[in-house]
Structures are given as structure tokens and as C-alpha cells.
Structure 1
């Protein structure tokens, strides 16, 4: 039996850094959504645990024992076997939760294959701060260190264009150089947005507190955000710790992806729909 699970890209539409615990973990308040762009995890029965990686972005990832998908499998059942194939379409370490989404998809696939329950969010958190929200794969307000997940008001229909300029950013350096780590969270009660322009206007008054230190590392991020705005995005920003940026578009807006690909053939671009 083969089971295949989609691992959607995770996008932080907002990312407010609200503090730092004594153990070093940062406290966040983030509006997280997912797109119908992502990787795929396929599992089949086998005597031992193995991982193969293919796909257009496979070159940036190795099937090492500490690969997050293998760690997720061992968390679920340390002594079970399965043949896992990870098809990578998202760039590695790019701020859109690729590794965490892959781990969550692996957990869902293996839970079906092995007829087991999924781990509790607290257990999944041991794999990474984004894994619990990726297990839900639904719009969520994520807070704490990633363990607190709350539903959000209905979101308007929107398309999303993800763009990565193919540069690396160091997440530890970004957090280390963050000037202020005790910033205000989003408002306690999120509004009920009338439509996409209303939602985009609200986003314009929110923050990604990691954007400025990321831009200090890689100024091209500003160029990407400007390019998305010039292409007609109602809102453009950076996801996570970067360097992937996103633009939100009305579903009836002419596709902007071909224009950006033509102007910046070295950038990674993927258009999709917010789930």
C-alpha cells in the first residue's frame, strides 16, 4: 500500500516577536496560512526506515539521519519501517516551512500506513516550532513558541505568488541581531474582514519583525517585495525569516508570475491559492 500526502507551503502573513524565554526560545504571534504549492511525501511498507529525495529542489537537501522527515518517523514509531519518498518543490530553508511541512506530511502519511494516532502538538513541537501548525494545515493564529494554535476569522479568497531570490539567510543571526525582542502582539481579537482589500489594508498595519534584520543580510529582499507590489499585489511581504516573499492577489488578477520570471529568470516563483 502506498500513501501520498501533500505538504503545503506555510506562509507567515504576520510575524510579531513578543519576547524571549529564559531557555532562549522566542515568543511569537503570527497569522499563518497555507498555499496549494508544496512538496509531496509518499510512503510504502518496508522492513526498515529509508528516505529518498527527488524533485526540482532535491539538490539542496540530503537524506541524512537527522532529516526532519526521518526524525518525525522515529518520533511516531522508533522501531517501524517504511520506504519514504520526499518530492521537493519548495526551496530549502526559505522561510515557508518546507522542512516542517514535510515532517507534518510524513507524520500524517505514516500514521495512516501504520494505523496509529498522530502525536499531540506538544510532542510535534520537539521537531520544530512550525510542525504543530503544519499538522493542522489550516489558517491559524500561532503564538507562544508555536504550541498555541487558535482559529482565525474567515479569510477572503486570494491568490498568492511566492518568490525566492535564491539567497541564503541565517535565522540564528536574524534573531541575534533583532534590535527589540519585546514587541506588541496583534490585537487580542482579530477583525472580520469584509473582503480582500480590507484584509490587505489590515496587513499593512501589521509587522514581520524579522524583515529588517533579514534585509540587512540580503538587501535583495526589498527588491523582491517591490517587484511584487509593482506586479499588482494588494499586499506584499516576507514570510518567516526569509528570504521567500509573497504577494496577495485577487483571484481575477492577471497572472503576475510570467512577468517576474521574464524579468528575473534566476528567481524561484510559484503561483497558487491560499487554502
Structure 2
């Protein structure tokens, strides 16, 4: 299987007919300043992640540093409540959505924080027991299956300090998969990596996403090329400007690229396509300067 191909076997569940899976509806987020005034970081942020039927969803949110990507992450994962608006998530049955709750959406932060006093295996088992409410036996069986499938079985009794950066990242993602079911946010997963390591991360994301048609990865990044390579949808986070060209506080989604409609999603040779280069240039030279 090439790194862009995604294959999901088995029958589709009823919920495969549901759209959307995650709905960010007119979200605003303000921060209180020392002078008592409120500063808008997000303003009328709206987008939806829909079910692609026989494939998992991999969506990227692109934006420069300081635009509010971390704030988006925290609101989607219910780490912070929005000042207004709603984040809705699907239930495991058709046509039913509810407000997102803490634990629904897993987050893998940049430095891949793990419990240093627990073995690799227990880094997966303990969250499974405490957060997902699995019994110890089931959590251990599931954790061992994940570790075996993603090349970490030999490290199951190792300590986090003994792992390489790539291994830590894999454990951190699997840890969230133990607790958050289908929705995982990756915070700058390509940051500081060389091209070979980026390719490995892309393969890992697709490999884990392929475990279930409802698996949904949201990648927060400023890496245009990597985002285009792995995603089926790209959302650009930016700010509007006033009549003088000055930025207005409060970021929102200013543009969407549907790579499925573009005929680029899931292609193993996507970077060789002229449209890939066009979109990358458009984002870099047209979209980002206006933010």
C-alpha cells in the first residue's frame, strides 16, 4: 500500500450515512485582558467534518503562528468552552449529535507528553481504564494489539525515556486512540522533522486512520506541503481586513480546499500533480500574506 492509499475493509455501519461527524458552529472565543477589555481570538468560526463513507477523515487546519490554531484545538477538544457558538459531535447512531465533552476528542501535543513513571504498555492501559472505563484485561489486550500493529510490541515494557522521538509520537497517538474513540487532534506533528521523518509520520497517521471508517484526524499545522499530502480537506485560518487593509481581530475559516473534489485526495503521486503545486503556491503567496 502506498502512503496515500487508504483501504478500509468490512461492512459500513449505520452511522456511515451520517453527515457531519463534527460540526463547529459559529464559534467565538474572547480572552479577558488585564485592562478589563476582551480580545477576540476566534470570530464566527464555522466548518464541518463529514463522513467520507468507506474512508477515514484526515483534515488539516493551516495558519501562521499566532493566528489562533491552538485556541481552535482547545475549543474542539473541549479543553476550553467557547465564548459563544457550539462544537457538536456525532453519537454512535444516525442523525444524533451533541455538544462535545472533555475526552471525546483526543489531543497529541507537540512534545508527545507521556507518563514517565509508567511503561509504554501502561501508558496505554491506564488511560484506557481511567478515562475510557475499560476493565484492565480488555484495556491490556487492546493496548497490546495497538503496540503490535504499529511496531512497538518490543518496547511494551520500556520506559518513555528509552524511546526515540518517532516512537514517543506513536505511543502518544495510540494513547489517545485508547481513550477518544474516533477523533484525534495532532498539534504540529511535522514540526522540526526532516523529510524522511515527515514521510514516516504521514504513513503512521494514515495507518492509524485506516483502523475504522469513522476515525477522524484533525491536523493543526503551518506545514503546507505535508498537509496537502495527507489530507482530504484543508481549512485556512485567517482574519478579515477593514477598508484600510488593517487586520480585524478574530480568526475564522477564510478558505476551504476539498481535495476529494479536486481529484487529489488519496493519490500516491499527489506532489507530481500540477494542481498540487498551484494550491501550495496559492496558500503560500496569496492566502498567508493576507493573514
TM bucket normalised to smaller: under 0.3
TM-score by length of 2: 0.24
Looking at secondary structure, tell me which structure has more helix per residue: 2
TM-score by length of 1: 0.25
